[in-house]
Structure 1
Amino acid sequence: MTTAVAGRVRAAAAALRLGWRASPRGVLLQLLLALLTGVLPAVVAYVAKLLVDALTGAGGPHAADGTRVAWLAAAGAVLTGATAVLNHLSTLVTALVGRSVNLEVQDRLYERVNAYRGLRPFEDPATQDRIQLAESAAQGAPHDVLDFLLDLVRSTLTIAGFLGTVLVFWPPMGGLLVGCVAVSVLGQVRASRAMADTAAAVVPTTRRQFFYRRLLTDARAAKEIRLFGTGPLFRRRALDGLRETTGASLAALRRGVLVQSGLASVTAAVAGVAAVVVARQVLAGRITLGDMTLFTAAVAAVQGALSAIVMQLGRAEEALQLFGHYLALIGSPPDLEDGDRVPAPLRQGITFEDVWFRYTPGGPWALRGVDLHLPHGRAVGLVGVNGAGKSTLVKLLCRFYDPERGRILWDGADIRTMPVKELRRRIGATFQDFMTYDLTAAENIALGAPEHLGDLDRVRVAATRAGIDRELKGLPRGYRTLLSRAFTDEDEESGVLLSGGQWQRVALARSLMREDAELLILDEPSSGLDALAERQVHQALRRHRAGRTSLLISHRLAALREADLIAVLFEGRVVERGSHDELILLGGRYAELFAAQAEGYRDDPDHPDGPGDLARHPVPTPVPTPAPRSATEVPDVPEGAR
């Protein structure tokens, strides 16, 4: 058995196990219906043969008996009706089983995607392509494989019921049918593989086309698209992608249709020859007209059954080839290894020890030897220009990635030894690129602690701390108001849209839902707020942070001035650390950033960064800080980290 065939057999077995697990009684009922619908055509054809003979006087001394004719006609009608009813019932059962199978495979797929512990799979185009292929295959493969097996049972019974008739009346017909089927199988398998290969090849283009299509209907993109006039560009690219994907699919389908049309023509010619031969036997008196009717029905039934097997085999082959992507995804190893050590509550602090990290092998280093300690119960501010590595440091702290070199210690224990869920359960975070969900205001906040989704009191406490309670209470339906214009609520009412600053406070409230969080990460939590709202939020956060270890990141240095320690990141390294006053007196990069930012507020004496603050904290002439070595000059980095 070749590797490809063995792979198909394993995939078929896995697909059948999924179908059986999803609906065992439905599968058994489908099998019973397949047995009945496989046998009935032969019975119907034989009754029709007897009826024709009875009507033509070729059925013996009782051939013209009116009662016999009536009973045969009634029996034929009942059997034909029963066949139709069973076929309709089979369609319904197939749909019910298909629904159960679809729910089962989709659940397993979403479970696997949720099992990714880090962010790397979501940033890898190959993984995204595989997820889309897996989703498509998961919906069809178990259903198609089960249909193939049921059709095989049904068709085998039909063929067994009719093949004897075909061989009795004209033995060469059996060989011709087998030859036609063999050629059809080869053609169908090749066409199905071509379709599967095409489906896999166009996935990147399909995802890109979907991206442009989504942009054209996304409310968040609508402003820029209309302002800058980019709608025609995105429409053109979406249509180009659609033309490419549908063109490739049509080309593969065209080849398959040409092959199958040729084979169908050959099969029809064989049936025509057989009909002529048998008709001549009727004229010669060697067989009856009823026998010819039975033979014609037998040829049509055998051809139809064999064609059904071939067609279902082609669909199953295509589905199984794509189903391999589903099985590969489900069986893929974890992207991040999980730990098993559950430490005691944080008491000492969190330490970065010579941490190096880059997003792609051979890419630039985002962090290059970071050493930093976050003392327990203290607030540490993180400062740096864009691209200095602040957000990367946060991602490593949440263990969305692992360092290439170095360690992150939680009370002296490497966080890689902790269960990922346990680590994240102890962290509350507001990210710079926070999410806005098309859900109600209460749900948007409660998602920070899903186990408290129905606890409105807890939601309101978090909203109050974030300074957004009054605005949310004033919405048309209060906290039950849908924060979306893309959907309507349960009463078919349209939702509302919040401002950028309001959304930011909702995201902040979401992070504050974890009242027992031991580490609070605030990455630009007030960048979208006005000065008054920012001051109010920071006052509330100061009370909430009391006794907690906090990491604060902000380009507004006034927001970090009360931090117990401020660390300055530059090109992936911590180059300065100290209190606000110490760093101002040092006259290094922090003082330079503070002076540059305060310059913009010199005309505003009431702003926290205004001239009044500069008078209290005069900025000395910045002292040049030695720049870290370039990313290509990596000292003492092990071979595995390069």
Structure 2
Amino acid sequence: MKRLAGAMALAVRAAPASMALRVGTTLLSGAAPVGVAWLTRNLIDDLARPQRSGFWLPACALAVAGALLAVNQHVARFADREVARQVALSAQTELFAAVTRPVGIAELEDPAGQNRLRLAQQAGQEAPQQLTAAVLAIGQAAVTLAGFLVALAALSPLIAVLVAVSGLPVLVAQIGLSRRRAETTVRITPGLRRQAHYAMLLMDVRAAKEIRLFGLGPYFRSRLARELAQAQDAERAVDKATLRVDGLLAVLTAAVSGGALVAAIARIGGGAGTVGDLSVLIAALAGVQSGLATMVSSIATADQMLILYSHYAAVVESGATGSAESGDRSSETGSATRPASPLPTAGPLRQSLEFHDVWFRYTPDSDWILRGIDLIIEPGQSVGLVGLNGAGKSTVAKLICRLYEPTRGSITWNGTDLRDLDAASVRSRVSAVFQDFMSYEMSAADNVAVGDLEAGGGEAGLRAAAAHAGIDETLAALPDGYRTMLSRVFDADGPGSGATLSGGQWQRVAIARAALRAGADLLILDEPSSGLDALAEAAVHESLRTLRTGQASLLISHRLSSLRDADRIVVLGGGRVAEAGSHDLLMARGGLYARLFQQQARGYQLPALGRPA
């Protein structure tokens, strides 16, 4: 009932006027068949009398009722569509507000969380409006059913009781079937997610190159078909069970109604009633059976939708993919916790950002990525982070941005634990270029502007940020300049055609986003030049040196030459800080950093001239 009340409240909030209109049409539609049946009875009885002077009133009333019902039908259809539109909009808005509300992203990487999110999205699109429609149908059927049961009881109380009781097994069976359908939906969701993934790959222009080159089309099509066939097999099994149950129940209700009709006809034939009574009886039996069928079907639909709606409600109420977020700082989930009350905002970085014995792993059953690291970044200081693949360099950046929480230990900003500060305020003081940066199917201006949506300066500010990244001239030279859509998939927003950028150009756009947030206290650069050629890399790093002036910065790169000018270089190994110091100090020590640097340097050394081949 709580879930049902929540769904109905959503509908009322989303479309109050349309819901009020729909309730009115529902009451009229429910009462109309009963009224029409009684007017028909009176008309028939009046026509059967020797003096037929009184039939005009019921005849006119029937004509007016017919007109009202015709108009009511169209009004109800309009109200239904308007309620569906408004509820769908409101439900999707609430759902994705909840999806983006959690501080961290751990839930989005959890397969179970993704399954629940898929169910919540499906339920958000269908369940609220279908629940609303089911409740209105139940209300309409209840009004019709009550009116006709009263009519039957007036003619024969026994018939009324028998017909009403015959609906109970139908109700029980339909609820059982609805539960099975809901369970099937939950069970086939992972397979449908995979099917949707294969469909997306076959339509994705980025995947098209490898799919064409390696001949992967039939491979992905077969996987898509297999997942879809398995889901359809599960649905087919439920449909077969539904056919068997519905067929048996139809025979039962038909037998009860037929027996009641024969008994009533025999009674009226014996002089216990009029021909008008027979018309009411036939209409009542048909109305009760129809009302029972509608009510039972609607209750079953509501029950199924409520099960699915529970996934939607869980996501919306928890603000994540339905998993509870623990406030325990030693939590193994890696989730960023959300406090019950507002937290203080983070001030400018005056003292330092510090890692204190930080341990981290992504799931409780996975290996440790970080094993107790200590790290200090002071205002205006540039820190280089070095290590082999998988050493945890990008994880450090994500922890600073509070995309995850430390499993153990703490990270402090000016001496205050990040978890005791408002996450949005911390992030507003951090700018970053991630290794897996996004290329948005939007205009060039929007692709830069997302780096700081509150930044002023208009196009001049965007161009200044792009100039820092060495991409301004390229974007300005596009067919419609900064308004050009950077996509071949979507239509351009304005005049001009879309365009595409190379990987290195997209990387510069990502750097421009970071440059746009000029007031940030900390700049994180995670492999900012991996897609650039040598000349572009040198130019970008020169721009980044200017950009980092006055800011603390964390530089992550496999190209160790780009880290030589860092104030301090930290080397990660085995989940710990293996060594730290300046470039010259680390080279003198001859440790891991020196070996990595020398290995890279050999690739740039020319062979000695005059040596025998």
Fold equivalence (TM over 0.5):
yes
Q: 2:537 & 2:182 partners in 1: Cα distance?
A: 55
State the secondary structure of the residue aligned to 1:190: helix
Separation (CA, whole Å) in 1 of partners of 2:206 and 2:414: 42
8 Å contact kept, 1:338–1:420 = no
Consecutive unaligned residues in structure 2, runs of 5 or more? 319-323, 326-334
Q: Does the C-alpha gap of structure 1 residues 69 and 338 become closer, same or farther in structure 2, counting only changes over 3 Å?
A: closer
2:20 to 25, 28, 47: 28
**Partner Cα separation in structure 1 for residue 523 and residue 494 of structure 2:** 37
Hey, what does 1:235 align to over in structure 2?
A: 221
1:62 paired to 2:51: yes
CA gap of 1:463–1:80, structure 2 versus 1, over 3 A, is: same
Deviations 1:511-563 (A, max 9, x none): 11101000000000010000111111111111111111011111111111111
CA separation of 1:305 and 1:373: change in aligned 2, threshold 3 A: same
Read off the aligned partner of 1:314 and give its amino acid letter.
A
Determine if contact 1:38/1:154 at 8 Å carries over to the other structure. Answer: yes
Between the aligned partners of 1:107 and 1:453, the Cα distance in structure 2 is 27
Q: Does the CA contact (< 8 Å) of 2:485 and 2:493 recur in 1?
A: no
Quick check: 1:473 aligned with 2:476?
yes
For 1:103, the equivalent position in structure 2 comes to: 89
SS of residue in 2 equivalent to 1:82: helix
Aligned residue among 147, 170, 179 for 1:193: 179
Judged with a 3 Å threshold, the aligned counterparts in structure 2 of structure 1 residues 281 and 494 are, in CA distance, closer, same or farther, namely farther
Partner of 2:488: 485
Give the root-mean-square deviation of aligned CA atoms: 2.1
AA aligned to 1:593 is L
Displacement after TM superposition at 1:309 (Å): 0.8
Q: Structure 1 residue 137: deviation in Å?
A: 2.1
Partners of 1:138 and 1:516 lie apart in 2 by: 39
Within-5 A mapping of 1:355-366:
355-366=358-369
1:370 alignment partner, SS class: strand
Q: Could you tell me how far apart the structure 1 residues matched to 2:249 and 2:160 are?
A: 17
Shift of 1:286: 4.1
SS in 1 for 2:454: helix
Q: Give the equivalent residue in structure 2 for 1:149.
A: 135
Contact kept, 8 Å, 2:346 with 2:426, in 1: the verdict is no
1:393–1:119 CA distance, 2 compared to 1 (3 A): same
1:11 partnered with 2:3: yes
Deviations 1:135-163 (A, max 9, x none): 22233333333333333332232223222
Distance across 2 between alignment mates of 1:282 and 1:567: 99
CA distance in structure 1 between the partners assigned to 2:444 and 2:536 by the alignment: 19
**TM-score of the two chains, using structure 1 as the length reference:** 0.88
Alpha carbons of structure 1 residues 603 and 261: separation in structure 2 relative to 1, 3 Å: farther
**2:405 maps to what in 1?**
402
Return the alpha-carbon distance in structure 1 between the equivalents of residues 31 and 410 of structure 2: 69
With 205-214 and 270-279 compared, the bigger mean Cα shift is at 270-279
The whole-number CA distance in structure 2 between the counterparts of 1:529 and 1:160 is 76
Ranges in structure 1 where 5+ consecutive residues have no aligned partner: 1-8, 606-610, 612-642
Which residue identity lines up with residue 25 of structure 2 in the other structure? L
| Pick aligned residue for 2:605 from 587, 602, 615 | 602
Q: Secondary structure at the match of 2:273?
A: coil
Q: Match for residue 84 of structure 1?
A: 70
| Matched residue type, 1:543 | T
Give the aligned partner of residue 385 of structure 1. Answer: 388
Matched residue, 1:53: 45
Does residue 526 (structure 1) correspond to residue 529 (structure 2)? The answer is yes
Quick one: distance in 1 between partners of 2:513 and 2:310? Answer: 39
Indicate whether 1:302 and 2:305 are aligned.
Answer: no
Alignment of 1:367-382 (within 5 A): 367-382=370-385
Q: Is the 8 A contact 2:455 2:517 kept in 1?
A: no
Mapped to 1, the partners of 2:297 and 2:450 lie a distance apart of 48
Deviations 1:31-64 (A, max 9, x none): 2222211111112122222333344xx2x3433x
Q: Secondary structure at the match of 2:516?
A: coil
* Structure-2 separation of matches of 1:515 and 1:182: 69
- Mapped partners of 2:165, 2:496: distance in 1: 64
Distance 1:466 1:509 in 2: 5
**Alignment partner, residue 269 of structure 1:** 255
Tell me how far apart the structure 1 counterparts of residues 337 and 277 of structure 2 sit (CA, whole Å). Answer: 71
- Aligned twin of 1:627: none
Checking the alignment, whether the CA contact within 8 Å between 2:480 and 2:496 is kept in structure 1 is: no
Distance of aligned partners of 1:477 and 1:492 in 2 relative to their CA distance in 1, 3 Å threshold: closer
Residue 74 of structure 1 and its aligned partner are, at CA, apart by 4.2
Partner of 1:342, secondary structure, is coil
Does residue 344 in structure 1 map to residue 347 in structure 2? yes
Deviations 1:178-213 (A, max 9, x none): 222101100110000001111111111111111111
Are 2:305 and 1:316 aligned? no
1:290 to 276, 280, 296: 276
**How far, CA to CA, are the matches of 2:497 and 2:263 in structure 1?**
72
Q: Secondary structure at the match of 2:166?
A: helix
Q: How many angstroms apart in 1 are the aligned matches of 2:530 and 2:493?
A: 34
Q: Comparing 493-502 with 286-295, which one deviates more in the overlay?
A: 286-295
8 Å contact kept, 1:399–1:420: yes
Of 324-333 and 239-248, deviating more is: 324-333
Output the CA distance in 2 between the equivalents of 1:138 and 1:180. Answer: 35
Deviation at 1:284, TM superposition (A): 4.2
